[in-house]
């Protein structure tokens, strides 16, 4: 007797295929930063950043539950989304690393809300933590937008099909 498998069962059986299919969708690359209660900065790279609501202004990102950086950001209760520029792949690699001090040699200032603002980013969105919801092996994190800025002449870093690139208009 043949049994029908669900899409979820197929994905669990072949997670590589799931990642390959979803990898066809390009994403921007952001570094979420926060200042820990002990005064040390924390940061993590995400490709899951999105606008959520205009009224009230909310944004979101989805950290993996196994992330060692997310708990450091979560305890701060606020964070800054730093949208990386096309020329910032080295900064991306640094912030995605498992280095003890990801901020060593990294230039940053603090937002009015006290979160690290990385130098020369394309845009930044400073937030207070709104909510955290469990979703499978990730969390859905929403932030209340407090302040934001963009540099109109800079191009963002894009991640697609396992590599980095940049956007160019047709």
CATH classification of the domain holding 77: 2.30.110.10
pLDDT digits (tens, 9 = 90+) for 91-132: 999 999 998 899 999 999 999 999 999 999 999 999 999 999
21 is a domain residue: no
Q: Note if the pTM is more than 0.85.
A: yes
Residue entry with tokens 């690699």: 93
Rg (CA), the chain: 17
17 is a domain residue: no
Q: pLDDT at residue 160 above 70?
A: yes
Q: pLDDT at residue 170 above 80?
A: no
72 is a domain residue: yes
2 is a domain residue: no
Asked whether 60 and 143 are in contact (CB, 8 A), the reply is yes
9 is a domain residue: no
**Residue 156: domain span:** 28-165
20 is a domain residue: no
């Amino acid at each position: 007797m043949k049994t029908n498998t669900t899409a979820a069962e197929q994905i669990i059986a072949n997670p590589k295929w799931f990642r390959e299919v979803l990898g066809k969708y390009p994403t921007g690359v952001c570094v979420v930063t926060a200042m820990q209660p002990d005064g040390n900065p924390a940061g993590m790279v995400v490709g899951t950043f999105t606008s959520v609501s205009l009224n009230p202004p909310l944004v979101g990102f989805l950290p993996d539950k196994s992330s060692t950086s997310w708990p450091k950001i979560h305890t701060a209760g606020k964070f800054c989304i730093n949208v990386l520029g096309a020329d910032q792949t080295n900064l991306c690699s640094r912030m995605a690393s498992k280095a003890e001090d990801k901020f060593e040699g990294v230039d940053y200032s603090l937002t009015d809300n006290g979160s690290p603002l990385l130098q020369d980013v394309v845009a930044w969105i400073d937030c207070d933590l709104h909510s955290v919801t469990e979703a499978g092996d990730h969390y859905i994190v929403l932030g209340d937008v407090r302040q934001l800025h963009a540099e109109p002449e800079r191009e963002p870093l894009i991640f697609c099909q396992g590599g980095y690139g940049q956007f160019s208009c047709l």
